[in-house]
Structure 1
Amino acid sequence: MTGKIKRFLIGRPMKSNELEGERLGKLKALAILSSDALSSVAYGTEQILLVLILAGAAALWFSLPIALAVLALLAILIVSYRQTIFAYPAGGGAYVVAKDNIGKFSSLIAGGSLLVDYILTVAVSSSAGTDAITSAFPILHDERVLIALAMIVFLTLMNLRGVTESASVLAIPIYAFVVSIFLLIVIGTINYLTGGAPAAAPQMEAAVSNVSLFLLLKAFSSGCSALTGVEAVSNAIPNFRDPAPKNAAATLVMMGLILGAMFTGITLLAYWYGIRPDEKATVISQIAEATFGRNWMYFVIQGVTALILFLAANTAYSAFPLLAFMLAKDKYLPHMFMVRGDRLGFSNGIIFLSIMSAVLVVAFKGNTESLIPLYAVGVFIPFTLSQLGMMIRWIKHKPKGWQGKLVINTVGMLTTLSITLIFIFTKFAQVWVIFVFLPIVVYLFAKIYRHYANTADQLRIDLAVDKPCIKGNTVIIPVSGITQVVRNTVSYAKTLSDSVVAVYIGFDDESIRKMEEKWAEWDPGVRLIVLKSRYRSIMRPLRKFIETVEWKKGEHDNITVLIPQFITKHWWEAVLHNQTSLMMRTYLLNHKDVIVTTVPFHLHK
């Protein structure tokens, strides 16, 4: 039954040689890997206005120069990451660049920041998408957490079905959003220029006297949230069809041009129409209402905006599993992140990402504003490390034309470092959590790496010296009575060794006497050892008996504990029985240096 449900939800298992067919062309990759960056158009301008409005409506004029500065930074990042793609065609982005050029510690900071950022991407996207829905349908405002969680479940299932299938389905609403926003920008601009819309833009003269440099820097850092997701293409190069680096670079440039044009258009319309931040209506909702009224086109734009905000999370679903794979390959994350699922995706990474982002949505109650500063600062740390790593690479290797490349990455590093510092100083009350959480993540990386290193040291053998040594084998069978399960186990035990004993632990003299009589009558050719437990414990007497056998045998014999266990026909029937065999197995594996084996006996009705 479980298998049928799994097949229905995620599809049939795929063969390993079908992996090449799961790679993406430019158009599908643009939709999947750019959805995070493109979706930020829906809240990037709004984040600028939320800060500027604190100085009064006149201060909204500064949204124009701030938007221009954000666009300049976008151009720097696009050019910089395009260089990274060709320098590191295997993907990995900031993590690989930092590891190769700066050092292990820096790479772990970059990798940890990106992992946290991708988790926040899913949480922010689902929360922001919910905001768009509740703007159009205010009656749903109290259900925003449930709506966000439902979308996370949907995206999880889509991505578990494989990259190609999810791209085919999710590309449609993403491109519908791009077309709708450009349509809104064109018609909104025409309405403004022809006098069909109210001209409510504040003037520069009124704005200058009321605004401090600190407020402008804070607004600029908020606007830079529109740039999150730019690095995803360089992280996910292995998802592209060959030639992967060339296709990835082209996709990155297309993403930059579309994002820049949409961000510019929305910011201009917000300024021209005198849009103010509203708790119950997003900036795009207000612009669409001012342009079209509350007609069908307004609801189309709200619908596709909600979809792109939800689907922005898909960028994280594409990049997080790949980055987790690379960290696991370097032994900084559990090896389970290296395993491909039935549909050839890194399903453990997908599921882990979903669980962590769902926890954040519940913890923050779907409040996008609380999550965005964490989200943005988490990505600008690896931005900075990536640029610094590329600078060191050009200086170290000095390839042809390296001076120009060095200049680009230097400008990028100084800019992203400045923005990171601006975030820290202007929004410390909102972003301090990441400076607690990130060291914990790096510490966990180090602990995991140390565990794998210690494990490898203890498991490593010298092929010339460490030969198998043959020992005897004493087999111990814990029994609670004489049944078909015990008969099956005794039969198997006698094929392993001539030294087999059964151990019965009784709680009173009567039960012990009856067991001895029945065992003598059955006479299976195996000696029965009877132990009395004064405190109704099974584990303590069994442990002491095993210690006695260990002391007598020393290192000359193996000790094998065969645990009889019957398996019910239906899974739910197991709940009706004591799980003594499972408890015994768990205890012995964790506390004794013995071989523990379960001998199953299947019930058929």
Structure 2
Amino acid sequence: MSSLKRLLVGEPLRTERLATERLTNPKALAVFSSDALSSVAYATEEILLTLFLAGSAALNLSLPVAFAIALLFFVVVFSYRQTVFAYPTGGGSYIVARSNLGLLPGLTAGAALLIDYVLTVAVSVSSGIAAVTSAVPALYPHRVALALLAVAILVAGNLRGVRESGNLFSAPTYLFIVSTLTMIALGVFRYATGTLAPVTAPVPPPAVPVPLTTFLILRAFASGCAALTGTEAISNGVQAFHEPVSRNAAKTLVWMAVLAVTMFLGITFLAHVLGLTPQTETIISQVNRSVFGSGALYYVTQAGTMLILVLAANTSFADFPRLASIIGRDGFLPRQMANRGDRLVFSNGIILLGVLSSLLIVYFEGKTHSLIPLYAVGVFLSFTLSQSGMVIHWWRSRKEDRQWLTHALINGTGAIVTGVVFVVIAVTKFTGGAWVVVVLIPVTVGLFLAIRRHYDAVAQDLRISLETKVKPVDHIIVVPVAGIHRAVAATMAYAKSLGPEIHAVHVSVDPAETEKLKAKWEKWDPGVPLTVVPSPYRSLTGPLVRYIDGLQRKEKVKFVTVVIAEFVPRHWWQFLLHNQSALWLQAALHFRPHTAIVSVPFHLKH
């Protein structure tokens, strides 16, 4: 197993290497921006899907809606640009909200982001597989298996370390950027020269057209706001950049915004002038085919789209473990989340994210449109809390920072705009599935608080005065005996080193075999009498525990030490050939108060 782990994950890295596991700006763009960049591949389609409910004529509103989303994108980006300078240690919305707004707003932001990261993996991978099935329809029935395989590859890649995951995932990200920008540039050129023909294939109207209302337009806007997911990722991972971390993070954030908005508006514009409508084939695939035809460039661009959509999940794999480690360090998630693995990454968080997102993919059968209604609610809530927290931060810093009012106005604008968008998304998508996230966020916050209460209670139980004197305690020693062999002999020898009062106990499930054992015991004579406890129902642990309870009451001692002989086979598969009674007994005694369990391993040679 160790060899397999080394093959998949790589050799362990020394702790001193942590400072060298930093990302250059180009690699950081690939790692932290793949979610935001990939969202342009389906954001246009989500706008069109909603507008098309009112008929083909309503699709003319796609460009105004896209421009509104692009403006919102820049507002959010410049708000977060201030955050990376104000909080260079990272942590993003959770740290900002908790530091400035209080505990509950901070935990709410943390819960919203963690939920959104899980959804990001499920949506991104499902969208990437949709790009594959658009190009190769025969693979559509296998979409769930392909999606789970993609998640497994992402987990393995991220377990290898931050820098190595950047090396692995940079090429696909830049393939998508170059191929998509090329497609847009050529498409705009062909449109300007009159060589880009609109799609003329007949499209059936919606079965029951709905009126084009303000509410429907807001729904389209809310769906298209999926383009903003992942915007906060860089502010969460500032410490992954080379020094100066804030400046490099800010530069990467601006480049991400410019690239994402350019591609989003370009795809929406081309879909509009081509007269494209939502079909089984994705919108970006239709644009791609209209510009490049069905030749090699189409498949290269479609491959880049598939890769970026799958690797968009890598943004979550970069940020979910970091955020979980910070929340875990504060005692609101299991402390194991804050532990770094062999490759200096937060391995537990990576594995947990892989498991949760895989469950979502299986439950929703890898269908992007089933997952999208759950999407973006949490991220806009975290945007709003973060920007509101930054306003408080600048107010508190007004004596040290002469430009505090300008900074506060920028973040205040961001807070108001994202707050309005959050309400719009929550209302327009509520019945479509957003209610699940709205319910999950407070449930997750409740879980955070329950975990913290547990840790506080444990700390209270463990607290000790430095004046407390350590005194020895009396104890009795119990050695369970199944038979007479070398493992039992070694266990008896060790038990005798712990104290003089030893009780050897045999639980009898076969009277005839028990009589033979008693005769052998008397002949062997280890210096300790053998007590036989009958077990008419053939249970081993229950009668032994009851015997220990009675013995402890009889002897009037506080502690009992149970010394257990345990076979250790030479090969892992040989464990399956033994009944593991020692492990079952340890499990039964583990929760018994005032009981020390000592395992004496006997290593088998064959």
Shorter-chain TM-score category?
Answer: over 0.9
Q: Tell me the residue number matched to 2:442.
A: 439
Q: 1:509 Cα shift? A: 4.4
Q: 1:592 Cα shift? A: 4.0
CA distance in 1: counterparts of 2:148 and 2:542, whole angstroms: 46
Q: Tell me the residue number matched to 2:547.
A: 545
Paired residue type of 1:402: W
Q: Tell me the residue number matched to 2:195.
A: 196
Q: 1:409 Cα shift? A: 1.4
Which range moved further: 76-85 or 533-542? 533-542
Q: 1:31 Cα shift? A: 1.0
Matched, 1:580 2:581: yes
Q: Tell me the residue number matched to 1:206.
A: none
From 526, 531, 534, the counterpart of 2:533: 531
- String of CA shifts for 1:166-206, please: whole Å, max 9, x gaps: 111210110111111111111001111111012579xxxxx
Q: In structure 1, the residue corresponding to 2:457 is in which secondary structure?
A: helix
- Check conservation: 2:98, 2:106, Cα contact below 8 A: yes
1:340-489 to 2 correspondences below 5 Å: 340-398=340-398, 399-429=401-431, 430-464=433-467, 466-489=468-491
Matched, 1:252 2:244: no
Matched, 1:330 2:330: yes
Paired residue type of 1:595: A
- Check conservation: 2:92, 2:232, Cα contact below 8 A: yes
Q: Tell me the residue number matched to 1:204.
A: none
Q: Tell me the residue number matched to 2:205.
A: none
Q: Tell me the residue number matched to 2:230.
A: 229
- String of CA shifts for 1:428-477, please: whole Å, max 9, x gaps: 1221111222222111111111111111111111112x221112331110
- String of CA shifts for 1:279-326, please: whole Å, max 9, x gaps: x21111111111121111111111100000001000001101100000
CA distance in 2: counterparts of 1:426 and 1:586, whole angstroms: 51
For the aligned residue pairs, the C-alpha RMSD in angstroms reads 1.5
TM-score by length of 2: 0.96
Q: Tell me the residue number matched to 1:499.
A: 501
- String of CA shifts for 1:360-402, please: whole Å, max 9, x gaps: 0000000111112212112111011111111122223323211
CA distance in 2: counterparts of 1:330 and 1:52, whole angstroms: 45
CA distance in 2: counterparts of 1:74 and 1:282, whole angstroms: 23
Paired residue type of 2:68: A
Q: Tell me the residue number matched to 1:142.
A: 141
CA distance in 1: counterparts of 2:113 and 2:457, whole angstroms: 27
CA distance in 2: counterparts of 1:523 and 1:289, whole angstroms: 88
Paired residue type of 1:267: T
Paired residue type of 1:156: V
- Check conservation: 1:32, 1:167, Cα contact below 8 A: yes
Q: In structure 1, the residue corresponding to 2:8 is in which secondary structure?
A: helix
Q: 1:526 Cα shift? A: 1.5
Q: 1:522 Cα shift? A: 0.4
Paired residue type of 2:115: V
CA distance in 2: counterparts of 1:40 and 1:507, whole angstroms: 65
Which range moved further: 583-592 or 294-303? 583-592
User: What is the number of equivalent residue pairs in this alignment?
Assistant: 594
CA distance in 2: counterparts of 1:539 and 1:276, whole angstroms: 68
Which range moved further: 134-143 or 526-535? 526-535
CA distance in 2: counterparts of 1:386 and 1:554, whole angstroms: 60
Q: In structure 1, the residue corresponding to 2:316 is in which secondary structure?
A: helix
Structure 2 gaps, min length 5 = 201-209
Alpha-carbon distance change, 523 to 260 in structure 1, aligned in 2, over 3 angstroms: same
Q: In structure 1, the residue corresponding to 2:471 is in which secondary structure?
A: coil
- Check conservation: 2:559, 2:594, Cα contact below 8 A: no
Paired residue type of 1:384: T
Q: In structure 2, the residue corresponding to 1:395 is in which secondary structure?
A: helix
Paired residue type of 2:78: V
- String of CA shifts for 1:132-185, please: whole Å, max 9, x gaps: 111111111111111111111111111111111111121011011111111111
- Check conservation: 1:200, 1:273, Cα contact below 8 A: yes
Q: Tell me the residue number matched to 2:204.
A: none
Q: In structure 2, the residue corresponding to 1:117 is in which secondary structure?
A: helix
Q: 1:510 Cα shift? A: 3.4
Q: 1:507 Cα shift? A: 3.3
TM-score by length of 1: 0.96
- Check conservation: 1:320, 1:349, Cα contact below 8 A: yes
- Check conservation: 1:59, 1:210, Cα contact below 8 A: no
CA distance in 2: counterparts of 1:102 and 1:10, whole angstroms: 40
Q: Tell me the residue number matched to 1:69.
A: 68
CA distance in 2: counterparts of 1:572 and 1:516, whole angstroms: 33
Matched, 1:271 2:281: no
Q: 1:538 Cα shift? A: 2.3
Which range moved further: 576-585 or 394-403? 394-403
Paired residue type of 1:297: L
Q: In structure 2, the residue corresponding to 1:13 is in which secondary structure?
A: coil
Which range moved further: 500-509 or 2-11? 500-509
Structure 1 gaps, min length 5 = 202-208
Q: Tell me the residue number matched to 2:47.
A: 48
Matched, 1:30 2:44: no
Q: 1:515 Cα shift? A: 2.3
Q: Tell me the residue number matched to 2:568.
A: 567
Q: 1:530 Cα shift? A: 1.9
Identity of aligned residues (%): 46
Which range moved further: 527-536 or 505-514? 505-514
1:252-331 to 2 correspondences below 5 Å: 252-278=253-279, 280-331=280-331
- Check conservation: 1:192, 1:199, Cα contact below 8 A: no
